[in-house]
Structure 1
Amino acid sequence: MASTGTSASTPAPRRLTPFRWAFPILVVTLLASLLGVMYLDYIVDPEKNLHNFPIALVNQDVGDDLTTGDQTKHVNFGDQVAAGLQQAVPSDKIDLRVLGINEAQLQMQSAQVYGTLIIPSDFSKRLGILGVGSVVPGEISKPAITLQTNPRTGAFATAIVQKFGAQALTQVDAQVGQQLTDQVKTTLTPPPGGPPAPTLSAATMITLAHPLSIAVEEFRPLPGGSGEGLTAFFYSLLLLLAGMVGAMIIHQLIDSALGFLPTEWGPWYVHFPRTPISRVHTLLLKWSAVVVMSIAVSGALLGIGALLGMPIDRPLLLFIYGAFVITAVGVTCTSILAAVGTAGLIINLIIFIILGLPSSGGTVPIEATPKYFGWLAGFEPMHQVFLGTRSILYFYGSGQAGLARGAWMATLGLAIGLVFGLAITRFYDRKGLERKPATAAAAQ
């Protein structure tokens, strides 16, 4: 019986079977495949994935009185251009919003639209002058439609707006050109028995066929040091990584200090005696470390950004928001680790990195990615963090520009992490599921 007891207390070492050797390879392969699908699917063909991309259309044209022969009628070419644009623009790809100039500017200031097309108030008048100028000597110029881009929404969104403007206005230009050419020919038609009508030159016909010009301008250009609108994305990524990676490091080091995990420093190996502490108290200890770490890291990132010349109009707000976001992410990550152990590393990686970065909207707009990314963006932490950070850096901390959503979702995430962590650790403690080696638990 003595030998039997010794055998039970000192189990034979586990053999590394082929399955145990291949299991980590399988896990890494699956994670890499998921990474490949998520990261490549959202960048391979943004134009094909374009949907509900918001652009404002402002028609300020007041019209003009056009005389044809002995008749005078009021025309509004701006209305025709606006109607032509609405017909030419694919509604499943572009959300063309017909707005007044004030509302359009408000939506540009709050990142609700990516660009604005503006038809000026004297559009019909200038178009009429162009028609008259084709037969009357004098200096004339083509009427211009202004395309305003919103560079604070990102360089990729700006490129899509510019491409949209070039394609849509080309179609409208041809339509208006045909109408203007017909109008001029009607004006030149002589009365019966009158002198023959003057002939239009080839240069005049070309001008009439394409009467419009496009003036592209930036709405509230970004200041220098903004990385063409990418600093918000990378700052958000830093906040998220600080919360996730920081939580994992704190989890590992505190568990090592409490004796639940061995500590290795190069060739040295230390395994401290296990500390008699409950799971709840262990989690509270980690949370307190996360909070202190969040304040320190947020301050460090703010200082580094300022040192590198990154424009920060609201430094205190960015510091508070950064610390809050890191705390929310860190608390949630440690709660997941407390619930499922080592597998929590994989869960955190999937939630915060693999699914989070492609659905953030920080590089490619959500409206230019497959539609399921929009579904992910509804709750994925990275998108919420990006909206809040972008609002603080580029939109003066406007709640409508994303700060309200970012703060509210961070609060919700923090609440979920707190409730989940406390609930699961208290459950484990009440069930007597102490953190002991499997052999010790089996012996009891």
Structure 2
Amino acid sequence: MAITVKDLVRWLRPSAVVAALAALLATMYLGYIVDPEGNLHDFPVGLVNLDVGDVVGGQQVNVGDQIEAALVQQIPADTVDLREMGLPELHRAMLNGTIYGAIVIPSDFTKRVSILGAASVVPGDVERPVITVETNPAAGAYATQILLRITTQATDEANRAVGVQLLDRVQNQLQSASGAPTTELSGSSRLALAEPISVVVVPFRPLPDGAGGGLSAFFYTLLLLLAGFTGAMIIHSMVDSSLGFAPTEYGPWYVHYPPTPISRVRTLLIKWGILLAVAPVVSGVYLAVATLLGMSIQRAPMLFLYGVLAIVAVGVTALSILAIFGAAGLLVNLVLFIVLGLPSAGGTVPIEATPRAMEWLSTFEPMHQIFVAVRAILYYDARASSGLAHGVWMALLGLAIGLVIGLVATSFYDRKGLERRAGSTSGTR
């Protein structure tokens, strides 16, 4: 039998769709993971200077101000959003998850630098001045790595700059006291003064056991989204099979029931009803399994309720898309919820370390909206300002959009007489 051009196009069409989907997958997934630090932009880091200064040699000196100025100059503004703030503001930002960490200069910093300088020529025990780098583990392990790289490089430069000034000052004081221009510090003293600052890294609020190093929120989010996405596909196919709009096939067993005379709107309402009934069950199953596996869950009722909302919002929208586009809706849902969702979720790589196109996607992609709410429930005491309020309102907005587009489209199809019946190619009577 001869193969026509029409036959060739028909069989090549699936290959083209798969190839296009593969190209999109590779672009999205590899594009956000290959070079996160090269994509770094607007990475939020706090800077808190509490130093009150000290009187040194009859003059008021504030080394903390010098360190602050040096850090502002050294940390690149095109990649890092360095926010100078006070201690209360820092705590609020950490609890809200709006910064990934902070550099904190203590109130007695200048005094400790002065004591270190005096101790280099006067016997006695002394502690090095300390700068604290506070991390925000709940923001993610990779975000912490980026933060430490940025702060380590910046504080090393500041440390050396302070060391040079301190060495010169101590050397001048030593020469003035002895009257000998060739008086030198000992090697150990010069070594201690060359890098006088000790940088201590501490977590602002350590994550509890069972948090997966900050990844439990992301994977729980993925479970909720998959429940809505795959649940919609299962409900769609099984209901259509039961109503006779698609064949039912399990292995060698095959049956195709006669089409049921039912409108598109009623069909969609039935699917939504099934989803609404199953969402609490799935959310409860997730919660029970997570608890049995030892996952840290501080606010189980809140997580259960938000899980129901997220599953319903995703599932309703996915069912509406299937009702609008038919078989092509499977591909639309896959791209919308999975292909574009994972790279822009911010659960593994911070949004500020992904290409700006993915940052734009995160403003409306469902996975990111669910993630910030789940993270707030699991790590930030379910604070509304830490992402819970945003996640709830975005889920409600997504649910509303799904309901509207589904009802509008199916009502339009019904009014136009676009019935779902066997042997129909045009969809008209």
TM-score (norm 1): 0.93
Q: Give the superposition deviation at 1:183.
A: 1.3
Aligned residues of 1:190 and 1:197 also touching (Cα < 8 A): no
Residue 113 of structure 2 corresponds to which residue in structure 1? 127
Where does residue 351 of structure 2 map in the other structure? Answer: 366
SS in structure 1 at match of 2:33: coil
Q: How far 1:16 moved relative to its partner?
A: 8.3
Distance 1:218 1:243 in 2: 35
* Superposition deviation, residue 15 in structure 1: 11
Is 1:140–2:130 an aligned residue pair?
A: no
Per-residue CA distance 1:234-291 (angstroms, 9 max, x = gap):
0000000000000010000000000000000110110011100000000000000111
Question: Is 1:86 the equivalent of 2:76?
Answer: no
Residue 266 (structure 1) aligned with residue 282 (structure 2): no
% identical aligned pairs? 54
Larger Rg: 1
Q: Quick one: which of 236, 245, 270 aligns to 1:285?
A: 270
Q: Which residue of 2 aligns with 1:11?
A: none
- Note the alpha carbon deviations across 1:164-218, whole angstroms, 9 max, x for none: 1211101111111111112112222338x94456311222222211111111111
Q: Distance in 2 between matches of 1:248 and 1:138?
A: 74
What residue is the counterpart of 1:4 in the other structure? none
- Cα distance in 2, alignment partners of residues 308 and 211 from structure 1: 47
Is the 1:50–1:367 contact (alpha carbons within 8 Å) kept by the matching residues of 2?
Answer: yes
Matched residues in 1 for 2:257 and 2:296: separation? Answer: 47
**Matched-pair contact (CA < 8 Å) for 2:32–2:354:** yes
What amino acid is the match of 2:18?
V
Distance 2:428 2:116 in 1: 96
Alpha-carbon contact 2:248-2:256 (below 8 Å) kept: yes
Cα distance in structure 2, aligned partners of 1:30 and 1:135: 72
The letter of the residue matching 2:46 is A
Counterpart code for 1:43: I
Segments ≥4 residues shifted beyond 2 Å: 188-191, 193-198, 437-444
State the secondary structure of the residue aligned to 1:49: coil
1:74-101 CA-partner distances (Å, limit 9, x unpaired): 1000010011100000011111111111
C-alpha distance in 2, partners of 1:36/1:243?
A: 24
Distance in 2 between the 1:91 and 1:425 partners?
51
2-side partners of 1:338 and 1:171: how far apart?
60
Corresponding residue for residue 9 of structure 1: none
**Which sits farther off after the overlay, 194-203 or 417-426?**
194-203
Q: Which runs of 5 or more residues in structure 2 are unaligned?
A: none
- 2:308 equivalent to 1:318: no
Question: Residue type of the partner of 2:195?
Answer: H
Structure 1 equivalent of residue 417 of structure 2: 432
Structure 2 vs 1, CA of residues 443 and 298 (structure 1 numbering), >3 Å: closer, same or farther?
closer
1:361–1:194 Cα change, 3 Å:
closer
SS of aligned partner of 1:46: coil
Superposition deviation, residue 141 in structure 1: 2.3
* 1:109 alignment partner in structure 2: 95
The CA distance in 2 between the partners of 1:108 and 1:341, in whole Å, is 45
Q: Report the residue type matching 1:33 in the other structure.
A: A
Match of 2:53 among 59, 63, 67: 63
1:235 aligns with 2:220: yes
Equivalences for residues 344-359 of structure 1 within 5 A: 344-359=329-344
Taking the aligned partners of 2:45 and 2:256, their CA distance within structure 1 comes to 61
Q: Normalising by structure 2, what TM-score?
A: 0.96
- Give the total of aligned pairs: 426
Supply the RMSD in Å over aligned alpha carbons.
1.6
